[in-house]
Structure 1
Amino acid sequence: MPTVKSVFLSDIHLGTPACQAERVVEFLREYPADNTFLIGDIVDFWAMNRSICWRQSHNTVVQKLLRRARHGGRVVLIPGNHDEALRDYCGTVFGDIEVLEEVVHETADGKRHLLIHGDQFDQVTRHHRWVAVLGDRAYTVLVRLNVLLSWVRRRLNLPGYWSLAGYAKRKVKKALDFIFDFEESAIHHVRERGLDGVICGHIHWAAIREVDGLSYVNCGDWVDSCTAIVEHPDGRLELIAWGAREAATNRTVLEAAEASECAY
């Protein structure tokens, strides 16, 4: 198993049908770490107000996180907008899991990053909540359609992982403009605070990039793309695309099976 100093996850959305909790469990098994930072929207109270979908795999995610904390690892939960009810409990500890509004995390190479969910940089969420809720429902529809498309692609033995929601974001100029505005706002905020970068979530768009000498890092999500950030012992940050990795593994297994069949 890889040895990493920290893992950063956001937007798991436990309690929803689209949550890919099984993949979260796989990731946690493969990446034990000294620090586990849960950067918002871990539980989706917005969706659970409409209907609750809580599978055994959702319980397993919670149990694994509690076990990490119980066995001496640091586990920090930073609430997001979908689990904003937990912001009332910032500064408290539940089952050895710290609940904090934000964290300034210093990586092994001495760089100081602000850990924050990111809805603070989203003008729509802050000032037009009804638009954010409508957009959330539209995104949920796209993700559910993507489940059907993924099943069809597997039946047709098409390689790789393809995201309908990601495709829509790339094609809709307004969505791209929103992402760029979000990144600019996040970088402006950490520059004013004299920090070296930001690690956030919220927009379901994973990235690691340098912007004017500062680091912009987004964890992505576990609804569509299944991505996370890990910090290596030397302080290097890496984006792990678990969905793409699983697709590549499945393709390798399929090719090996086909080769075996051809041998006979």
Structure 2
Amino acid sequence: MTQNAKDKTGLHELTPNPTSHFSPFEHAITTRKSPKSSGKVKQTFNALWISDVHLDSVDCKAEYLLDLLNQTHTNKLYLVGDIIDIWALKRKVYWPESHNLVLQKLIQLAQSGIEIKFIPGNHDEEFKAYSNFQIWGITITRQYIHECITGDKILMLHGDQFDSEVCISRTYAKLGDHLYDVLLLLNRKLHRIRHSLGFSYWSLASYVKLRVNKAQHAISMYRDAVLRYAQTQQVQAVVCGHIHQPELSQHKNIIYANDGDWVENCTLIAETHSGELQLLRWSDEACTTKVINQITLSEASATPIKQKVA
């Protein structure tokens, strides 16, 4: 990548460098194909939060994400980390056309005027060095505060910065990734069997995590760490990713929202035009999103009632 002069917004614009090792980006721009929308926009939102897509991973559900992007309109789109799995890319390049089309679609949306912010995670941490730069209209930032229609403020961050508070070192994080890969392999094989029998997608990996006490303890510690940090930022809600565990819950005066992932859960967080935060799951059977849980923002600010869906 090369750096251009600052524009009037104070951001730097990045342009692709032919010698860059991020070859999928160049391929996405130079390919002759482009993502085609079905023309049937079924849902509109003020903002969407998506993370942990893991493009270049064999377990990435890129086809489902592309369907979502083609059938949904949003004013703002937030990419909350681990969009491209550079850890996987360094081991082996796996870049099918569906992954290419997702990347092209994101660039197309940014260039059409939709505001897109990208917060790098641990799997695409190389982009953290380019904070406050733009690449093809997508702004890279370490964290960001979104102002809702209701005036409520939402902090967004990937969440890998809290690994030390959950007692997860980088070595253990990578070991956990390898064990998780085994679980995803089983998940993938089960999905093929279910698909051949006419059943919709179901996550074995998520089912197992919800029933392992140590996993639930780690998820709870992570949630507490995120909430403690959010309390210092004078916001009403926080959106994160990282642990692949979707959740929307109220904790005193802070909403905790984890948008999940597109490896096993196919979930996202949305802000509606009527001022609600929703946890959504993509249904491949219905080819649309389904609401798992929702919290009305204006009510949440004054109501310390705990709601939780995981």
Seen in structure 2, the aligned counterparts of structure 1 residues 126 and 76 have a Cα distance that, compared at 3 Å, is farther
Among 54, 64, 80, the alignment partner of 1:39 is 80
**1:26 and 2:67 correspond:** yes
Q: CA deviation at 1:185?
A: 0.8
Same amino acid, percent of matched pairs = 37
How far apart, in 1, do the equivalents of 2:275 and 2:230 lie? 19
Question: Are 1:25 and 1:61, in contact at CA under 8 Å, matched by a contact in 2?
Answer: yes
> Which runs of structure 2 are paired with 1:183-198 in the superposition (5 Å)?
183-198=223-238
Q: CA deviation at 1:248?
A: 5.0
How far apart, in 2, do the equivalents of 1:127 and 1:150 lie? 30
Give the aligned CA root-mean-square deviation in angstroms: 1.7
Question: Which residue of the partner structure matches residue 133 of structure 1?
Answer: 174
Amino acid at match of 1:175: A
Q: CA deviation at 1:213?
A: 2.2
Question: Which residue of the partner structure matches residue 247 of structure 1?
Answer: 285
Q: Render the CA deviation track for 1:111-146: whole Å, top value 9, x for unaligned.
A: 111110011122278861111011112112211211
Structure 2 unpaired stretches of 5+: 1-41, 289-310
Seen in structure 2, the aligned counterparts of structure 1 residues 148 and 194 have a Cα distance that, compared at 3 Å, is same
Q: CA deviation at 1:212?
A: 1.7
Aligned length: 247
Task: From the two aligned structures, give the one with the greater helix fraction.
Answer: 1
**1:213 and 2:253 correspond:** yes
Q: Render the CA deviation track for 1:199-227: whole Å, top value 9, x for unaligned.
A: 01000011111012210001100011111
Q: CA deviation at 1:43?
A: 0.5
Higher mean displacement: 146-155 or 71-80: 146-155
Amino acid at match of 1:7: L
> Which runs of structure 2 are paired with 1:1-264 in the superposition (5 Å)?
1-123=42-164, 128-157=169-198, 159=199, 161-242=201-282, 245-247=283-285
Amino acid at match of 2:264: D
Higher mean displacement: 79-88 or 142-151: 142-151
**Could you tell me the TM-score, scaled by structure 1's length?**
0.89
Structure 1 unpaired stretches of 5+: 251-264
Question: Are 1:12 and 1:19, in contact at CA under 8 Å, matched by a contact in 2?
Answer: yes
User: Matched residue of 1:16: which SS?
Assistant: coil
Question: Which residue of the partner structure matches residue 261 of structure 1?
Answer: none
User: Matched residue of 2:43: which SS?
Assistant: coil
Question: Are 2:166 and 2:218, in contact at CA under 8 Å, matched by a contact in 1?
Answer: no
Amino acid at match of 1:121: F
How far apart, in 1, do the equivalents of 2:214 and 2:88 lie? 25
User: Matched residue of 2:239: which SS?
Assistant: strand
User: Matched residue of 1:194: which SS?
Assistant: coil
Q: CA deviation at 1:99?
A: 0.4
User: Matched residue of 2:75: which SS?
Assistant: strand
Seen in structure 2, the aligned counterparts of structure 1 residues 116 and 249 have a Cα distance that, compared at 3 Å, is closer
Question: Are 2:194 and 2:200, in contact at CA under 8 Å, matched by a contact in 1?
Answer: no
How far apart, in 2, do the equivalents of 1:140 and 1:57 lie? 21
How far apart, in 1, do the equivalents of 2:117 and 2:167 lie? 24
Q: CA deviation at 1:172?
A: 1.3
User: Matched residue of 1:3: which SS?
Assistant: strand
Task: From the two aligned structures, give the one with the greater strand fraction.
Answer: 2
Q: Which has the higher contact order (CA 8 A, sep 6+)?
A: 1
Amino acid at match of 1:63: Q
